[in-house]
Amino acid sequence: MADFYIGIMSGTSLDGVDAVLATPRGGQFRLVSSVHRPYPAKLRSRLLALQETGHDELHEAALVSNELSVAYADAVRRLLARARASARAVAAIGCHGQTVRHRPKAGYTLQLANGALLAELSGIPVVCDFRSRDVAAGGEGAPLVPAFHRAAFHSTRRARAIVNVGGISNITWLPARGPVIGFDCGPGNCLLDAWILERRRKRFDRDGAWAASGRVIPRLLRKLIAHPFIRRRPPKSTGRDEFSLRWLKRVLSGNEHAADVQATLLELTASTIARALLAHCAGARDIYVCGGGARNRALLARLAALLPGKRIATTAALAVAPEHVEALAFAWLARRALGGEPGNLPLVTGAKGPRVLGAIYPA
């Protein structure tokens, strides 16, 4: 019998495709193998362009969706080859897709992925479009990963907070007893990556070294933190729609040193996370970071400084590598969908109630 699930995540950082092969064991998901497939520069540029309205974007989105699905299928082939497993052993692929618009207040969210094509290319059933059912039920459609965080990381002895720092940062509060909450709290890596690409032609700031070389600009930080989303109370979710390079440039005077802007953006990410934790997860003594931001030493150091007395670690301390958490979550959500089990947490997303998430494309 098929006893494996594949999770595919390509997040708002636009760095590439993370795919994992996992198997359920005793209520947990055990990682079997993983692959990362970086986006080619041209595909990444096309995805960035689709974050904004443009000429013939419906046609372009359809073409990019197909190209992404070919990349997803290639990641699946590599994953199975690395694990020496066959497609027949996989019950389903859970594929988040690439978000290019997230407008729950307008009643929609759009993640590019051609589930039918991916099922055809891989020979494996595909579950995708996870967010739409939650939005239809009046929810934000995100974040969805807190439900997996509860399943994977909850402790009845210690309250914990999980901080995912992808393109956007989000928080899951896991009290030892009581309801789980979760929400997006602001930009994670998206502005940091966009600014260093703009000014230094690098995809990301390794270890936060460039940010650490600059100084925070208080005036600029105040303007950035004044963004209405940051002041909103949960449930809430956001994306590159709101925190774009275009938005940043509107706030800049043009006289700032580039490294100082990077330092200020890192402070924006760290301070919005710290403020959200203190406001909504005050009882958390243990804070575990996952996502690409978990590799940013300067960011982790700044979080530790802003949150004295709290333990800052990555999810590796909980036996899950930071870069695997979200992909594992979508493998887990695919299993929930096939079993007809809800995948959302209404208290997190604001939906009217629990809903089975995802559209299923048989092999």
Same domain? For 187 and 335 the reply is no
Same domain? For 268 and 329 the reply is no
Give the global pTM.
0.95
Same domain? For 47 and 99 the reply is yes
Same domain? For 217 and 330 the reply is no
Same domain? For 168 and 287 the reply is yes
pLDDT digits (tens, 9 = 90+) for 37-49: 999 999 999 998 9
Same domain? For 167 and 137 the reply is no
Average pLDDT over residues 158-185: 96
Cα–Cα distance measured from residue 272 to residue 306, given in angstroms and rounded to the nearest whole number:
10
Average pLDDT over residues 4-10: 97
How confident is residue 98, by pLDDT bands cut at 50, 70 and 90? very high
Cα–Cα distance measured from residue 59 to residue 255, given in angstroms and rounded to the nearest whole number:
39
Does 237 score more than 70 pLDDT? yes
| Alpha-carbon dihedral sign for residues 140, 141, 145, 146 | positive
Same domain? For 263 and 161 the reply is yes
CATH number, domain containing residue 26: 3.30.420.40
Same domain? For 183 and 296 the reply is yes
Q: Are 336 and 356 in contact (CB under 8 A)?
A: yes
| pLDDT (0 to 100) of residue 1 | 52
Average pLDDT, the chain: 95
Number of domains in the chain: 2
Q: What is the dihedral of CA 271, 170, 6, 16, to 10 degrees?
A: -50
Q: Please give the structure tokens belonging to residue 15.
A: 């760095």
Does 258 score more than 70 pLDDT? yes
pLDDT digits (tens, 9 = 90+) for 99-146: 999 999 999 999 999 999 999 999 999 999 999 999 999 999 999 999
* 177 Ramachandran zone, left/alpha/beta (phi>0; psi -120 to 50): beta
Average pLDDT over residues 348-354: 98
Average pLDDT over residues 67-93: 97
| pLDDT (0 to 100) of residue 43 | 95
| pLDDT (0 to 100) of residue 123 | 98
The residue behind tokens 């051609």 is 114
Residue 9: strand, helix, or coil: strand
Same domain? For 155 and 264 the reply is yes
pLDDT digits (tens, 9 = 90+) for 302-335: 999 999 999 999 999 999 999 999 999 999 999 9
DSSP letters of 62-124?
Answer: HHHHHHHHHHHHHHHHHHHHHHT--GGGEEEEEE--EEEEEEGGGTEEEEE--HHHHHHHHSS
Q: 320 phi and psi, to 5 degrees? A: -130, 120
Does 58 score more than 60 pLDDT? yes
Same domain? For 134 and 108 the reply is yes
Same domain? For 152 and 249 the reply is yes
| Containing structural domain, residue 271 | 146-318
Cα–Cα distance measured from residue 144 to residue 122, given in angstroms and rounded to the nearest whole number:
25
Same domain? For 189 and 280 the reply is yes
String of b and e for 138-164 (b: at least 16 CB within 10 Å)?
A: ebbbbbbbbbbbbebbbeeeebbbbbb
